[in-house]
Amino acid sequence: MRNPTCVLILTLAVWAGAAHAQAPVKAGVPMMLTWTPAQQRQWYPAMETVFETRTVARGPSAHRLPMAAKQIAPTYEFRGKTWTVDDYMAANSVSGLLVLKDGKILLERYGLGRKPTDRWTSFSVAKSITSTLAGAAVRDGRLKLTDMVTAYIPELKGSAYEGVSVHDLMTMSSGVAWNEDYNDPKSDIAQAGVVLEKGVDPYVSYVKRLGRAHPPGATWHYNTSETDLMGIVVARAAGKPLAAYLSEKIWKPYGMERDAVWMVDRGGNELGGCCISMTLRDYGRVGQFILDGGMAGGKPVLPADWVHEATRVQIANGLTGYGYFWWIGPEAFEAEGIYGQSILVYPKDRLVVVINSAWKRADDAADWVAMQAFQKAVRLAAAQTRP
């Protein structure tokens, strides 16, 4: 969904922030951006063995994803040759592919030794789930997008976040000055979340010292801390940890097949912008839940207009547009994460395309272009199948 030339600064941010906010629980674990392919394959399915996490409990039964009468096996032309599904998976270190149409499986494949019961980390796909939980809190009457952030995080009173609304956070337009220069050891992204202040979340402790660059709501600017602050807002509004709220609102009633795990920061709060681990089919169920308007167990979890509002352009970002932590395209919306994680939804096609990967590079334009070519081929193949 993104302009490939603008990708790096936008998605690398999520893990860079998480890496500083979260310390490994396993001695000798290197920074994640330096993991070897072997380490990726070992730890992406088992993040709870490396980092502190909180469990997102599943319910007693799983939402069925029946096989479609006809499976697809798209082939397509790209970079001067014909590609198959196997070619794409091998060239892009793909651990899982899942395609749903009308809630039925058109394609399901696994690689890198992954099994259907194995989880895989989401990276910044988690942002879109955090925004969805915000919608649940709105429907519960616990949150309003017009509320001020300081109503939920009073520690930010008197800071540059004074006068910033929940809507501003959800669209990354707080206007608070923020430097995400990864080559500068003194940048905000390099320092946020590292120093602990007793009784204060590490991100809150850091951002309350920042200045202002733009009026609230006026300018989109990628700011890693916005998603983590939003996670705190939702948790405080709901009166429980994000993992427990996700279990209550989606995992149990919708019928996810396995417990998920969600990474927490040094202050014990789930990272609103990163690192939920779930099975491939549960990624698909997340996409299907959104595609179906936020219904679980036959009951609405989200306000009636939430999905429409969350997945339309709320603010210009110099690319295709930005919703409530969703990347917006002309005919689709997408949750994305570094190293090749994606939930892509085509509403008119009733299509959900999930990809989990372990790319060699965190965020390379060529890898995103290759993914987009594959996604296009999947859409074309799915269009030829009967409902």
The predicted-structure confidence for 286-343, as pLDDT tens digits, reads as follows: 999 999 999 999 999 999 999 999 999 999 998 889 999 999 998 999 999 989 999 9
Look at residue 7 in the predicted model and tell me its pLDDT. Answer: 40
- Summarised one tens digit per residue, pLDDT across range 164-190 is 999 999 999 999 998 876 567 778 877
Look at residue 18 in the predicted model and tell me its pLDDT. Answer: 47
Dist. CA 131–CA 137, nearest whole Å = 10
Domain annotation covers residue 96: yes
Domain annotation covers residue 76: yes
How many domains are contained in the chain? 1
Above pLDDT 70, what percent of the chain?
91
| Mean pLDDT of all residues belonging to the chain | 90
Q: Are 335 and 128 in contact (CB under 8 A)?
A: yes
Look at residue 11 in the predicted model and tell me its pLDDT. Answer: 40
pTM: 0.93
Domain annotation covers residue 218: no
Give the mean pLDDT of 99-118. Answer: 97
DSSP-derived secondary structure for 164-229: -BHHHHHTT---B-----TT-TTSHHHHTTTS-BTTB-HHHHHHTT--BSS-TTT-----HHHHHH
Q: Residue 157 pLDDT > 70, yes or no?
A: yes
Domain annotation covers residue 136: no
Look at residue 34 in the predicted model and tell me its pLDDT. Answer: 85
Domain annotation covers residue 336: yes
Domain annotation covers residue 141: no
CATH number (domain holding residue 70): 3.40.710.10
| Alpha-carbon 325 to chain mean position | 8
Domain annotation covers residue 27: yes
Q: Residue 284's domain spans which residues?
A: 4-124+241-383
Handedness of CA 137, 319, 3, 191 (dihedral sign): negative
- Summarised one tens digit per residue, pLDDT across range 356-379 is 999 998 888 999 999 999 999 999
**Can you state the angle between helices 7-21 and 365-383, rounded to 10 degrees?**
110
Domain annotation covers residue 163: no
Work out the pLDDT band at 6, boundaries 50, 70, 90. very low
Token look-up 């490396």 returns 50
- For 78, 89, 232, the CA distances from 82, given in Å and listed in that order, are 6, 14, 47
